[in-house]
Amino acid sequence: MMCPDMEATLNEYVDSTLAVLQREAVDEHLAQCTGCRDALAELRRLVAGARQLPPSITPPRDFWPVIGRRIGQRATWNLQRVWWRGALAAAAVLVIALGLYRLLPPSTAHYRPAGEWAGWAAVQADFDRASDDLSHIFAAERGRLRPETVAVLERNLAVIDVAIGESRAALAREPANAELRRFFAAAARQKVELLRWVTRTGES
Amino acid sequence: MMRTKGWLAFGLALLARQAPAQARIDERWPLDPAGSVRIVNPVGTIRVRGWDADSLAVSARLERQAGGGRFYAAGDAHVRKLGIDGAVGTGADIEVRVPRGATVWVKSATASIQVEGVDGTLDLSSQGGSIHVLGTPQDVTAETMDGSVEVAGGTARARVKTVSGDILLRGASQDLGASTLSGRIVVRAAGWQRGGTGVQRGKFESVTGDIRFEGELGRSGVVEVESQSGTIEVRVPASTVADFDVLTIGGTITNTLGASQPRRRSASAGQELRFSTGGGGAQVTVRNFKGAIVLGPK
C-alpha cells in the first residue's frame, strides 16, 4: 500500500517535474518502500496505457455497467479512488458524447424514420445511469467542497435538470424530431460536464 | 504608572501576535524561450507577464500565519513549477514573468488569474476566481466555475468554459469556443480592418445564459450558436456574405438583417428561418429551444 503522503509526489516523479534533490529523496524512499514501488509501477502503466490510446474510442454497449461495478467496489488506496473517480467522469462524458453523436443525424435533416432511432432509449438510459452515479459522487464529495462551490453546483444542477426535463417532454411529444434530440444531447452533456467539475474540484 | 506600562506592553504584544507577518519572495531562474511554467496559488491573485528574456522571475507576497501556506519552486530550464502549498488564510499575490513564447499552466481555487503578453499556450483553471487574458497567445484554454473570463487581443484558438461565470471574447481570434451553463457569453470579433480575419470557426453554447455574437465572420467561416433558453443575438456587418440556418422550438425569431422572415415549421412546433446573403460565404447556424433569437446588422 502506498504511503498516504506520497501520492502527489509520485505523480510529479512520473511527470519528471521534481527538483533534483526531491527526486533523489524519492529514489531513496522507493528503495525501501514496496507499496510506493507498486504504486509507481501502476502509475507508469497508466501513463504508458494512456499514450497507446487511439485518438477516439467507441465504447461497447456494455461498457457502462463494467465501469459502474468497478466504481462500486471500495477502493483500497487513495490513488485507485482518485483514478476511478476521474475515470468515471471521463467514461460518463465518453458514453454520453459518443452515444449521442452516433444517434444524431449527420446532415441537417430534421426527421428520420422512427426505426433508425432504436438505440435512442438505450442512450437515454446510459445518460441516466451516468448522471445518477456522478450525482452520488457529488453527494459523497460535497463535504470536501467549499460551501460557495456547493451552492453554485446545486443552483446550476437545478437549472440543467429543468432544461433536460423540457427537452424530454418535447421529445415525448415528437420522438422522431432530430432537433429535439440535439437539444437533449446538449443539455445532457452540460449536466455531465457540470458533475465533472465536482470530481475535478474534489481531486484538487 | 508601572501598571499602565504593563497594560501597554501587553496590548502591543497582543497586536504583534495578531498581525500576520508578511513573507516576500523574489526569485529568478533561467527558462527556455519555449519552456513550460506551472503555477498553483489557491487564494489571492496570480499575474503572469510575458517578457523578452530567457528567464523566469517570480515576485510573491503571502501572509505568514500559523498553518498558512508556503512558497515552493522546482524544475529546470525546460519546466519550472512554483506556487503556494497548503492553506493560506488571506491568500498570496504572485507575479510571474515568463518568456513570451512560454507554455503557461495556472491553477487556483479562488485566486484571480491575469495573463498578459504571453504568446505561447495558456491553460488556466480556477474554481471561483476570474480569468483575464490580454495579448496574442497561440492557444488558450480557460475554465472557471463561477468566475468571469475575458480573453482580449487575438488568439489562434480559444476554448472557454464556465458554469455560471460570464464570458467575454474580444479581438481578432480565428477559432473560438465558449460554453456556459448560466453565464452570459459576449463575442466581439474584429475583422480585417483591425488586423483580424473574422471568426473562422466558432461554437458558443449555453443553457440559460444569453449569447451575443457581434462582429465579423471569416470568409467560409463556420459559426454555431446554441442555447436552451437564453436570448441569442447575432449582429454582423450588413455586407456579410453568409448562409443562415436559424431554428427555435418555443421561442421567437426576429430578423432585420434582410427581408427574409421566419416561418412556422411545417411538421413540428417552432419557427425556422433559412436565407443566404450570397454564395461561398460563411455558414451561421443558430438553435434555441425556447429563447428568443435576434439577427441584425452591426
The full set of domain ranges for chain A reads 4-51, 63-203
**From CA B42, how far away is CA B5, in angstroms rounded?**
42
CA distances from A173 to A50, A61, A170, A176 (A): 43, 27, 5, 9
- pLDDT per residue, tens digit, chain B (298 aa), is 455 556 655 554 544 444 456 788 999 999 999 999 999 999 899 999 999 999 999 999 887 665 567 889 999 999 999 998 865 566 899 999 999 999 999 999 899 999 999 999 999 999 899 999 999 999 999 999 999 999 999 888 999 999 999 999 998 888 999 999 999 999 998 865 555 678 899 999 999 999 999 988 888 899 999 999 999 999 999 989 999 999 999 999 999 998 899 998 776 778 999 999 888 789 999 999 999 999 999 8
| Per-residue model confidence (pLDDT) at position A58 | 52
CB-CB under 8 Å, B163 with A194: yes
Residue of B27, B207, B265 to mutate when probing chain A, most A C-beta within 10 A: B207
- Put simply, the chain A residues between 137 and 196 with a CB less than 8 A from any chain B CB are 146, 148-149, 152-153, 155-156, 159-160, 163, 166-167, 170, 174, 177, 179-180, 182-183, 186-187, 190, 193-194
Kindly indicate the confidence band of residue A59, based on its pLDDT and cuts at 50, 70 and 90.
Answer: low
Residue of A112, A159, A192 to mutate when probing chain B, most B C-beta within 10 A: A159
| Per-residue model confidence (pLDDT) at position B225 | 97
| Per-residue model confidence (pLDDT) at position B5 | 59
| Per-residue model confidence (pLDDT) at position B149 | 98
Task: Report the gap between the CA of B287 and the closest CA in chain A (Å).
Answer: 9
Task: Report the gap between the CA of B102 and the closest CA in chain A (Å).
Answer: 16
Decide if B146 touches A, using CB distance below 8 A: yes
CB-CB under 8 Å, B75 with A204: no
With 70 as the cut, is the pLDDT of residue A129 above it? yes
| Per-residue model confidence (pLDDT) at position A78 | 44
- Put simply, the chain B residues between 219 and 248 with a CB less than 8 A from any chain A CB are 226, 228-229, 245, 247
| Per-residue model confidence (pLDDT) at position B284 | 96
Which residues have C-beta within 8 Å of that of residue B169, sequence separation ≥ 6? B150, B151, B158, B160, B176, B178, B185, B186, B187, B188, B189
| Per-residue model confidence (pLDDT) at position B273 | 96
Task: Report the gap between the CA of B38 and the closest CA in chain A (Å).
Answer: 10
Among A152, A160, A163, the residue with its CB nearest the CB of B146 is: A152
**From CA B104, how far away is CA B121, in angstroms rounded?**
6
Helix A7-15 crosses helix A20-32 at what angle (to 10 degrees)?
Answer: 120
Question: Chain-wide mean pLDDT for chain A?
Answer: 71
CB-CB under 8 Å, A163 with B268: no
Decide if B38 touches A, using CB distance below 8 A: yes
Give the number of other CB atoms < 10 A from CB of residue B66: 6
Decide if B287 touches A, using CB distance below 8 A: yes
Nearest to B60 by CA among B74, B73, B76, B50: B73
Q: Residues A67, A71, A73, A78: is their CA dihedral positive or negative?
A: positive
**From CA A110, how far away is CA A94, in angstroms rounded?**
25
| Per-residue model confidence (pLDDT) at position A109 | 41
CB-CB under 8 Å, B226 with A167: no
| Per-residue model confidence (pLDDT) at position A106 | 46
The pair phi, psi for residue B149, each rounded to 5°, is -130, 135
Pairing of strands B36-40, B79-85: parallel
CA distances from B71 to A161, B55, B189 (A): 42, 19, 40
Do residues B214 and B235 make contact, with C-beta atoms less than 8 angstroms apart?
yes
Kindly indicate the confidence band of residue A180, based on its pLDDT and cuts at 50, 70 and 90.
Answer: confident
Give A152's contacts in chain B (Cβ within 8 Å). Answer: 128, 145-146, 163-164
**From CA A170, how far away is CA B84, in angstroms rounded?**
50
Kindly indicate the confidence band of residue A108, based on its pLDDT and cuts at 50, 70 and 90.
Answer: very low
Q: Which of A68-77, A137-146, B77-86, B194-203 has the lowest mean pLDDT?
A: A68-77
CB-CB under 8 Å, B207 with A159: yes
With 80 as the cut, is the pLDDT of residue A46 above it? no
CB-CB under 8 Å, A201 with B145: yes
Nearest CA in chain A to B265: A110
Among A108, A159, A167, the residue with its CB nearest the CB of B289 is: A167
| Per-residue model confidence (pLDDT) at position A107 | 43
Diameter of chain A measured on Cα atoms: 66
| Per-residue model confidence (pLDDT) at position B16 | 46
User: SS in 3 state form for A77-90?
Assistant: CHHHHHHHHHHHHH
| Per-residue model confidence (pLDDT) at position A95 | 61
Do residues B96 and B108 make contact, with C-beta atoms less than 8 angstroms apart?
no
